[in-house]
Structures are given as structure tokens and as C-alpha cells.
Amino acid sequence: MDSDDQRLMELWRQNWPGSTPEADMLRIWFPDRWVRFHSLPGSKRYAEDAFEEQIVLERHRTVLRELMGSPETGAAQELLVVTAEWEPDEHAWRAPHLGEAVPDRQLWWRFESAHSEVGMESWCSAFLSRVAARPAALDPLLRLVAEDRTGGVILAPADFRWLYHPYDGGADVLLGSPRERDALRARHDDWLSAHPGGL
């Protein structure tokens, strides 16, 4: 592991102590800093036409723009993209269809999955890449996620102060504090689920 990988791992641990970059576990580990937004009106899961596909992308872009900030407040110049692969042993496997959407992926962190069961351990390999901090630059990846062709994606600024986990149907957002989470949730309360647990 090179020094930059180690530095990023330490930043992760400072911001998200006791956790690993296993996207679907973050809401369980940090429930007081988590909010989920749905991608389509009425909590519809998948787009059926080009109009609905545009709604999905625009909702992702809107939240990401807010998270990234403005030049006046020190906007992020690039985003970290963490993509994950799971395997039954310590040998990493890369999903070939991610190559165009997320070029230059490098293995960053390999850890035992939180989903492992006694006698059935599995491993997660987290790959890291960097993209320009422009929401539209992420459209190819967000489309793959929305179509359920990949999962386990986490977007973050270089210091990991917030995390954005898109999934097929919406996005989980984790912020630095419950206050920040509440403010973001209030701005987009019409994108929330009616489920009492926010799912």
C-alpha cells in the first residue's frame, strides 16, 4: 500500500470510525448521520422512459452539487469514487463493465465483508479512482447504478467528510453531523420515503 492509499485510509477512519467502505452498511453504522432520497416520484424504483431517466440523473446531480459546495466556500475540485467487488476469498475480481464509467481504478482496501457469516467468510475489495467534481461527469456510473448493473459505489470528497452512495432507486447520503443531515433532508423532503425507517 502506498503512502497516499494509507493517508486516505486514515482519513476514512477519522471521519467514519469503526467502519469500512462497504456502502450498504453505512446507514446501519451511522444512522444519526444518514438520510435516503428516492430517485423518482412516488418512490418508484426504476425509470421506464427517457423522461424518468432524466429525473433520476437530475436528483443525483442536485444533491451532489449541494454536497460539493461552491467556489466561494471551497468547492471540491475532484471526487473520490470507491467501487467494490465481493469474492469468497482474498483474490480480487474487477467488474469489466465499470472500465468506461470509472477509468483508472486501483485496488485501495481489501477487508472481510460485514456480511460474512460463521464458516462462510467473504471479502470485499474497494477500488479507488478520481473524477472531476462535476455531477454530469458521473452520469455513466450513475446510469449503471440506476439500472442495477453495479452496486457498492461511494462518492466522496478528498477528505471523506461526506459520503454519497447511489443505489438502484435512490441514494444514501451520510454527513458530518446530525444537524447537517437534517438540513439536507429538509431541503428535499419531497424525495423522502414514507417508510417510518426512511428506507
Task: Say yes or no to pLDDT of 179 above 90.
Answer: yes
Percent of all residues in the chain with a pLDDT value above 90, rounded to a whole number: 59
Q: What is the mean pLDDT of the chain?
A: 86
Q: What is the DSSP letter of 133?
A: S
**Torsional sign, CA 62, 197, 141, 174:** positive
Which pLDDT belongs to residue 72?
41
- Contact (CB, 8 A) for 82 and 106: no
Q: Give residue 73's pLDDT band: very low, low, confident or very high (50, 70, 90).
A: very low
- State mean pLDDT over 97-105: 78
Helix (H) or strand (E) holding 4: helix 3-15
- State mean pLDDT over 69-77: 57
- Contact (CB, 8 A) for 38 and 182: no
Ramachandran bin of 198, using left for φ above 0, alpha for ψ from -120 to 50, beta for the remaining angles: left
Which pLDDT belongs to residue 30?
97
Which pLDDT belongs to residue 119?
57
At a CB cut-off of 8 Å and minimum separation 6, what does 137 contact? Answer: 131
pTM above 0.85, yes or no: yes
- State mean pLDDT over 136-159: 91
Between 109 and 117, name the one with better pLDDT.
109
Q: How far apart are CA 47 and CA 69, in angstroms?
A: 28
Name all contacts of 41-50 with Cβ < 8 Å and 24+ positions apart: 43/169, 43/193, 43/194, 45/168, 45/169, 46/146, 46/147, 46/148, 46/168, 46/169, 47/146
Which pLDDT belongs to residue 100?
74
- State mean pLDDT over 153-176: 95
Which pLDDT belongs to residue 118?
53
Cell of 4: 497516499
E strand intervals along the chain: 34-38, 78-87, 106-112, 123-132, 154-156, 163-167, 170-174
